[in-house]
Each structure stands twice: as structure tokens, then as C-alpha cells.
Structure 1
């Protein structure tokens, strides 16, 4: 398990602590011992993080019902989110001339399409999830970030796709060594409905069908990492399209 210290400029996140510092990268050194105590965290021999006045943050919680699932225009939400994801920086939508990135983009789109098709047809798709995990570059590869975005919506309590939760977890267990520790922990947390506050803000708007400041909320997600935010948005958009396919009355079932 990883525990992250964040500056006050970042949003809240699981297994993290926001501290009142703008920069803290020069305060800590690799290999320093860390001790978690009741009122704080002791780092090394001369640093103490006081938690006695901290406020506990909890992830957004939502239980879907058959009634509110039908009341939400999932397809339109998918369109909005997908449109903004395409305007950002993502290997899913790579248009440059780097041959390596071009090949990754082809594999991402191929595996993405295979996963959506298998889920629509209720086929065994564990191997497709396995093929997406670790696909990409950086601390959290694009395939993982996409699955994070997909999971935060499909694994909502009450969602018809939540029955696939064990399939996602099994695929992650088998493919854990293919990706980074940070990415594997982040994906597992998302499957278990633990994710960053900015993600929860957008899910809350979707569930309440609240379009107020939607562009601001989406833009905040796009700021996550160099491309992670947009990769997650592609996953969230596809989750909305799949939800529409699973039963929303104005769904375009050929979109995915």
C-alpha cells in the first residue's frame, strides 16, 4: 500500500494527506523511516506531520436504483464527456508522428472496442481487461487510467454492470506485475469505489443529472497527470454509453 502526501493545491484522494505546503519534494529523502502514530506521522529523525487538527475526507458515495438509472440521460453524458476527452492529451486519440505512440494508440483502441463489444454481449472479457492493464507509458499507463474511468461508474452500487466486479478484480490480480505499483493500487481502489474527489464531483453531477459547472469539473479532471485525466474521461464516457445500452430508452445501441 502507498500513502501519498499532497500539497494543498491538489484535490483529496484515497490513502492521501493534504498538507499546508506548496512544495514538499525537498523535505523528504528516499529511504527515510516512517512511523504512523495516533496524532501524526513521524518521518526520519526531524520531521513531524501533525494530524490532530486535520479533517477526515470520505469518497463520494452513491447507490443507484432502477428509477434514477432510468431518469439519467446516460447517452448525452457520454457524448459530453467524450467530446472533452478528445480535446485533451491522450494516447487513445493520438495524432502525432511518433511510430511507438501510434502503435500503442492502435492497441488501445482495438482492446477498448473488444472490451465494449464483449460487455454488451455478456461474453467473457477478463482477458481483454488483462490486455489493457499496463498498456501505455508513465506511472499510470493509459490502459489502466481508462479502466479506472470505466470502473468508477460501472461499479457504482446498484449499477447493472456491478456484477462484473470480480471479473475486473481477477484480471487485475493476474496482470498486476504488468503495470506499476501506483497504477495497480489506483485501479483496485477505483473498482472498490475509492477515487479522487474530482472524480467523485463528476459522478455526483451525472447521478443528479446536474449540468451546472460541468465544463469546469471535466477540466479539473483533465489536469490530472500528463494524460491520465483524459484517459479516465474516455473510460467514463464509455461507461455512460454502456449504461445507456444496458437499458436507457433513448440509447443509440450501435454507438459503442
Structure 2
């Protein structure tokens, strides 16, 4: 359930116990939130908790704050990691998924949307490879709001890309401000939830399943990443797979920053 905070242009998400931790969220000791909260109920924030409607209160007194250590990547990690292989592993895991990037159905509308997604994807990778700031802005604009759902496909892809490229110490951090300013200027093109999700990803705040995946790679254990990939694929109907598409491209781009050619696996 999402609680809209209009004065802060923010959303607080209430999660059931089987969900992983996430920014701007509160995990509740509930199996599900269905039929408990109703749209339009008055919400009041107190120092010790949140009051919802006339009969519900979330008590903060026994809550534990999830605040993982900030991730950092060194030049040694960049040099020693097989980024190209990581990109191939992830690509193989999402090519047969529900991602709109790989739509194979008969719906002409979705076919055209998939074509546009792949086009802007290729052009953004090319712009990031050459450092063309103007082209980077154009392609981010092309992807913003492109797709379906509460967090459209193009936005989820950009979030996945940002998760990797803007890790502290990554050479691509220099493009962070371009991503931020372009999102701010084009936020009207997509949903509020999507804007917040992408903004947080750029600022290195994202779900625990994604954090665990990136942490596993930075620790050098790339032999057992498939369970982490599968957890990310569970996010939304296709959001996790779309984010993985972005992460795969970001891993491949990380290889370029080491001075080697990157094989763009974009159909």
C-alpha cells in the first residue's frame, strides 16, 4: 500500500512481511495488507508511529531501521571482475522474461514500444561510451515514461543502470548530475512512484534484494549469483527484469571504463 505525501512529493510504501526491505518503506508484521487499508483514509504521522483511519496504528517503538553500508567500488575490483560475463549471465536470464524489451507477442502496440525501448537503449549505451552529454540527455528523455505499469519499462531500465554506474568510485559517477537534472526536467512524463524510484536509485538507495546482489559481486563471489538474480526478477510484474536489463548494460559499460571494447547485447 502506498501513502502519498503531496507536500513532500514523496510516497511511503507499507510492505507485508514477505517483502524485502526498501527505501521509503515500512515492513509490517503482516502476511498481506489486503482488506486492511482502504484508499482515501486519513493518515497522521506521530513521533511514535502512524495513525491510519480511525482504527489502525503502526507503532514504531519496536521497529528496526534498515540502513545498509554504502557500497564502494575500487579500481582493483573494476580490473579483476569479468564484467562482460556478468552482463551475459544477466541477459540470458531476462531474454525469455516478461520484460517489454523482449516482447514477442502479436500486439502491435507492444511491438512498437519494444522497438523504441531497444532503440533508445542502444543510443544511450553509445552516448555513455563516447561521453556525449547532449545525447545522454536525449536518450534518457526518450526512455522516461516509455512502457507500461506504475513504473514504466524505460524508467526501470534507467534505475537498474543507475544502481551500478553511480556506485561510489565508479568512473561513470561523472554522469550522475546529467541523470538527475534530466529526470527533474522530464518527471512530468511518468508516474510519481516511478520518479521517486528512479531518483532513489540514482542516489544509491534501492531494495534489499538489489543491494545484496551488488554486494555479492563487489565481494568477488560471482559464482553463486543466480539466486540473487531470481529474487530481483520477483519485483513487480516485470520491473525486476527491466532493472536487470539496465544492470547488465551497466556491467558491460564498466568494462569500457577499463579501456576495453564492450559487446553491446542489444537486439
User: What's the TM-score, normalizing by structure 1?
Assistant: 0.96
Report the equivalent of 1:240: 251
- Select the residue among 148, 152, 163 that pairs with 1:141: 152
Alpha carbons of 1:66 and 1:12: their partners in 2 closer, same or farther (altered >3 Å)? same
For 2:264 and 2:120, locate their aligned partners in 1 and report how far apart those are by CA, in whole Å: 16
Structure with higher RCO (Cα < 8 A, 6+ apart): 1
Alignment partners' CA distance in 2, 1:60 and 1:178: 33
The residue aligned with 1:67 is: 76
- Aligned match of 2:6: none
The Cα RMSD (Å) is: 1.3
Provide the residue aligned with 2:48 in structure 1.
Answer: 39
2:137 corresponds to 1:121? no
Q: Secondary structure at the match of 2:11?
A: coil
Which residue of the partner structure matches residue 76 of structure 1?
Answer: 85
CA distance in 2, matches of 1:48, 1:112: 44
- State whether residues 145 and 228 of structure 1, in contact with CA within 8 Å, keep that contact through their aligned partners in structure 2: yes
Q: What is the CA-CA distance between 1:217 and the residue it aligns to?
A: 0.8
Q: What is the rounded CA distance, in whole Å, between the counterparts of 1:132 and 1:210 in structure 2?
A: 32
1:214 and 1:31 mapped to 2: Cα distance?
41
How far off its partner does 1:26 sit? 1.2
Q: Where does the alignment leave 5 or more consecutive residues of structure 1 unmatched?
A: none
SS in structure 1 of the partner of residue 15 of structure 2: strand
Deviations 1:32-52 (A, max 9, x none): 221222221111121111121
**Corresponding residue for residue 3 of structure 2:** none
More displaced stretch, 100-109 vs 16-25: 16-25
SS of 1:32 mapped into structure 2:
coil
Is the CA contact 1:149–1:236 (under 8 Å) kept in the aligned structure 2? yes
Flag structure 2 segments of 5+ consecutive residues without an equivalent.
1-9
- Aligned: 1:158 with 2:169: yes
Bigger drift between 41-50 and 150-159 goes to: 41-50
Moved over 3 A (4+): none
For residue 105 of structure 2, the aligned residue among 93, 96, 100 is 96
Contact 2:84 2:262 in 1 (8 A): no
The aligned residue for residue 219 of structure 2 is 208
Shift of 1:212: 5.0
- Greater shift in the superposed pair: 173-182 or 38-47: 38-47
1:246 positional shift = 1.3
Given candidates 86, 89, 107, the residue that maps to 2:95 is: 86
Rounded Cα–Cα distance in structure 2 between residues aligned with 1:75 and 1:120: 15
- CA distance 1:52–1:200, change in 2 (3 Å): same
Moved more, 57-66 or 15-24: 57-66
- Give how far 1:25 is off: 2.4
